[in-house]
Structure 1
């Protein structure tokens, strides 16, 4: 017996057409953006400050939740207004100035971010795992007016040049300023849609971190993408989506806030949708995380594959009530089909909720996303391009290749960064004059779905962290015993890859692995320090032009 038309559930094509077509809430139009016509949403906010001010509508609903704190949208907005007023009055922070944050995940990290946004300042997320040398480089590069740190990172500033920078601590300075300026009106800054909003650092093949510069438009487009995803789910159940209806979803944050996964795609959009962000603090502990999921009835979690692997190996996972989880998205690093199958077999919530995606810092969010049905029908796929994303596979000359042919993944969208901060050469190499981003990754499009065939030629993906060999090689080259070296990734059962180094020394020179490891640890974040070594007197293989033949190196 057929279902009556009046009660039939709408199909995906109907919903997408209604939402993105003329007059729809997510109507797509073409507009000039930075000199190039691209698809954008007709209905959209223009500034982050506008989004922040509107969050007062969510009132006493949870915004930020930790193991021992619960902060409502109203409490958050009041604290942000006070902190922003203090930054403007006490330290003259204005539009275009940089406000850097160097800290572990904490509600104050999020407050500092939004306070900078309300002033039109550029928020700079610094990697909390960096050692002093790396911190020093980023501060000299981004030149912040204010640096906000937690107590642990304050200790790492010893020997770092902070002259001309106001350093504020989260534990003492921020609470004092928020209390002093309590009741202040939220500042509103005059900024344009394509003005810069955020700098997040990503490792570069040149050996130094590069600052991906994201605009107001970039972050707001991410917000609308998440709203759109919520709207599709809502409409598919026969209900009507409204921006004014708060989302009951509760999202677990386990990745650092200096990554787009947690900042752009969690903390920021959930302020717009009225959803709760349940924040894990400190290192990843399976019992702590599972306890948060159970206690807070978490509905969505996007772990890196390393975290998911530790969940698989945890004997006590079945002791927790995880039935609230309806969204489970592997993030930040590739994972195999076999690994996904293990997750589905082990956890009931993963059978229908497991999804995957492909993205990078330079694109602010996902480039392509695969639903649970996509992964079941086409194992290994990364899905289709998301809303307003144009994706092409191109050959070495920059020409698009036919469907099914391998080439470089290139993308153009409202999500693509403005460029790299203070690095015109790197920006020109990555973004074409007509705003196509060359990702450096290689893949194939088949029936509109993306499959990666190779990551950037020398990129190491260690537990969700991007590690580029050049930076480590340049560090090791500074050791007097090292003649030359090569760094590469080798398979690791937990991390996906670990960092390995082949070090060449002159005949007769004695150096130990521990000595090299200790030397690297002084100059590099712990996850970049090689954990496997081969010390040899044989020269490394090179091609006819003298370049290192990395693929010919065996470990």
Structure 2
């Protein structure tokens, strides 16, 4: 295996205690650092019995379980490419994906096992013969995930082990994560944040990881007691997750002893919300910023956080801004390229994004996405800025500001209320919202309001704005 991967497992092998603990499904299962390399080699042996060898592609159905972590680590160590899919993926979709990728197998590390997939169990892996870890060529493909396809056909994002492990090392150095830390992973593990934030990066520092069920209301209700019981020192949440944890916390707002790092990522966190957590709990949440193609770009400073920003770029990352404020990055942790219809398209040296940003005194701020900007009557309106101003009106209730086509204005600005039906207070909120927006610095205007039963959300609670616009436009067309 490569020296980088060998060092990764050697660091873990020096641990006599559990480096992986799984609490999902009402069971408690653990693997020590000393046993982890052998167990991943046995997973590779089990895969070989399914016809999977080094260099093969596998469609992997992931849930928050120990088997998913072991399958990921076996792929890292043995040069197998995993195409990660959620536990609720449909059988036909998995079969079509496997056929299109030329995948050797469909392996499920989730329960129940989808039809047509082969289930991986800890017991079956442990009983398999261990396969020795091979020497891997640099830049061997490791993970394959897909873009949402909201702006065209979905594209496969192909990463090598080097991008994950290099980025993890840079992130851990900047944030002080080390072998004494114990992470709680409640991010969905088929998602990039679930495998990088909650597994690969902590283990790269020699830290241990506790895997719990993917985040939901039950997680939020027992959140801080779980952190205390397990001696957790650090964890990741999305802004939406953190908001729910705060709303459902009926305790004394005192963080468990030893807890020292709360990372917030996968979406923008308003400075107001970060300050509210600091005021209530006495700890600053650390905002970060990343992209599926580039992994982590920046993270806030633990000693001097800058609320409303996404912190300082990691070592080796360079920020580029065009004349319109669109961000681009050059980084040593970039992906291998996009896989489109079987062909690999390498990335440009500077990866251009749709995000708008600013870099001041080395601190990066994200100001929204260029493709979400509403062009109303020839004037650019940033929905993120409006949402930040209106958030106090909604008191945690879901809402969104978006643009829809308009014959006169080009685009109109629409305030979307979440809920199956309108509430008595909605008229008052609407009137006050129009006043706040009209008096704001941009002198924008809310043109219409809309109602939706549930906002379309991604796996970490971030609003899927393109999907929302399509739903609203279809409803207007049918009206």
TM over 0.5: yes
Matches of 2:399 and 2:224 in 1, distance apart?
Answer: 25
Superposed counterparts of 1:328-347, under 5 Å: 328-347=262-281
| TM-aligned CA deviation for residue 293 of structure 1 | 0.2
User: What TM-score results when the alignment is normalised by the length of structure 1?
Assistant: 0.64
Conserved in 1, the CA contact under 8 Å of 2:188 and 2:214? no
Conserved in 2, the CA contact under 8 Å of 1:46 and 1:193? no
CA gap 1:97/1:422 in 2 versus in 1, 3 angstroms: farther
CA gap 1:330/1:525 in 2 versus in 1, 3 angstroms: closer
SS in 1 for 2:326: strand
Q: Mark the structure with the bigger radius of gyration.
A: 1
Q: Does 1:453 align with 2:361?
A: no
Matches of 1:147 and 1:495 in 2, distance apart?
Answer: 39
Conserved in 2, the CA contact under 8 Å of 1:96 and 1:121? yes
Conserved in 1, the CA contact under 8 Å of 2:198 and 2:236? no
Conserved in 2, the CA contact under 8 Å of 1:47 and 1:191? no
Superposed counterparts of 1:476-495, under 5 Å: 494=396
Matches of 1:114 and 1:291 in 2, distance apart?
Answer: 29
Matches of 2:19 and 2:344 in 1, distance apart?
Answer: 41
| TM-aligned CA deviation for residue 538 of structure 1 | 8.6
Conserved in 2, the CA contact under 8 Å of 1:249 and 1:299? yes
Q: Does 1:413 align with 2:372?
A: no
| TM-aligned CA deviation for residue 410 of structure 1 | 0.9
Matches of 1:425 and 1:189 in 2, distance apart?
Answer: 26
Match of 1:462 in 2: none
| TM-aligned CA deviation for residue 124 of structure 1 | 1.9
- Give the counterpart of 2:292 among 354, 361, 375: 361
SS in 2 for 1:261: helix
Matches of 2:370 and 2:23 in 1, distance apart?
Answer: 36
SS in 2 for 1:333: coil
CA gap 1:292/1:345 in 2 versus in 1, 3 angstroms: same
- Give the counterpart of 2:20 among 51, 55, 63: 63
CA gap 1:295/1:176 in 2 versus in 1, 3 angstroms: closer
Match of 2:124 in 1: 177
Matches of 1:390 and 1:151 in 2, distance apart?
Answer: 38
Q: Does 1:121 align with 2:53?
A: no
SS in 1 for 2:269: coil
Out of 59-68 and 323-332, give the one that drifted further: 59-68
| TM-aligned CA deviation for residue 310 of structure 1 | 0.9
Structure 2 residue runs without a partner (length 5+): 374-389, 407-419, 422-451
| TM-aligned CA deviation for residue 393 of structure 1 | 0.8
Match of 1:544 in 2: none
Match of 2:442 in 1: none
Q: Does 1:263 align with 2:210?
A: no
Matches of 2:240 and 2:369 in 1, distance apart?
Answer: 18
Conserved in 2, the CA contact under 8 Å of 1:500 and 1:533? no
Superposed counterparts of 1:78-477, under 5 Å: 78-88=38-48, 90-131=49-90, 135-136=94-95, 138-150=97-109, 152=111, 154-155=113-114, 157=115, 167-170=117-120, 174-181=121-128, 184-229=129-174, 233=176, 247-284=179-216, 285-318=219-252, 322-348=256-282, 350=283, 353-364=284-295, 366-372=296-302, 374-376=304-306, 379-395=307-323, 406-422=324-340, 427=345, 431-432=347-348, 435-458=349-372
Matches of 2:90 and 2:251 in 1, distance apart?
Answer: 34
Matches of 2:132 and 2:398 in 1, distance apart?
Answer: 45
SS in 2 for 1:219: helix
SS in 1 for 2:251: helix
CA gap 1:275/1:307 in 2 versus in 1, 3 angstroms: same
Conserved in 2, the CA contact under 8 Å of 1:368 and 1:382? yes
SS in 2 for 1:193: coil
Matches of 1:58 and 1:147 in 2, distance apart?
Answer: 32
Q: Does 1:536 align with 2:476?
A: yes
Matches of 1:389 and 1:269 in 2, distance apart?
Answer: 17
Conserved in 1, the CA contact under 8 Å of 2:182 and 2:209? yes
| TM-aligned CA deviation for residue 65 of structure 1 | 4.1
Aligned length: 406
| TM-aligned CA deviation for residue 186 of structure 1 | 4.6
Give me the CA root mean square deviation: 3.9
CA gap 1:205/1:131 in 2 versus in 1, 3 angstroms: same
Matches of 1:63 and 1:499 in 2, distance apart?
Answer: 41
Conserved in 2, the CA contact under 8 Å of 1:503 and 1:536? no
CA gap 1:317/1:102 in 2 versus in 1, 3 angstroms: farther
| TM-aligned CA deviation for residue 75 of structure 1 | 3.6
CA gap 1:371/1:358 in 2 versus in 1, 3 angstroms: same
| TM-aligned CA deviation for residue 262 of structure 1 | 2.4
Matches of 2:37 and 2:212 in 1, distance apart?
Answer: 21
Matches of 1:283 and 1:299 in 2, distance apart?
Answer: 18
